[in-house]
Structure 1
């Protein structure tokens, strides 16, 4: 009986080395977990982009006053999130299969930036406005809260 207990205790003390199959399973699980997290990040960034586009669409329909600062801020956020989507897609694809998207993204980003820059400039007109003359057409001059 004493020999049996010693053998059991010795078995508990010695740590078994993980088999190659277990190591392969663990590596597979880690890889799957990383891909899952990347996919979740893609979905999250995509949701943000769609929400910002919806905000811009709502503003365009006249529901709220907005100015070029609103447009520039939303375009910058959209650009950042789209870039993140492309990066996450590249990490999921074998051998960076979405690299051409980066080139196209930068081309589009430059076109949008040039359009937004042409709208930037000084505000013509009076420096002081009567409150009764301020409406949503003067958002850039008076600010969103005043318009």
Structure 2
């Protein structure tokens, strides 16, 4: 069994935004030359999250809006006394920062409309990264 890993570096431009990294993730899978195995995509940040969903502007904005409905900014969180970003931490803790998907015949198994979307909640950030780890044959 072989392994392959790569970091995808990117930046964010807004306090809250959704960034599609699908093309870059798929390029890493192709580069790995692993035909059958498992891919782990991990976003090692406490105020951003990784989801699989449709990369359409309306869906992206709906996700941002609903996250704010769920954990609104400035709602009196204890952590805001330190960094004023508690809502971002809460959202990231509940949505998650990693996804595990199978690779079969050199292709990541995902739905037609499932894209790798990073949801930034504490930007802008000049350096974010997504770590992709692939294991298989």
TM band (smaller chain): under 0.3
TM-score by length of 2: 0.28
Quick one: higher RCO (CA 8 Å, sep 6+), 1 or 2?
A: 2
Higher-strand-fraction structure? 2
- Which of the two has higher C-alpha Rg? 1
Higher-helix-fraction structure? 1
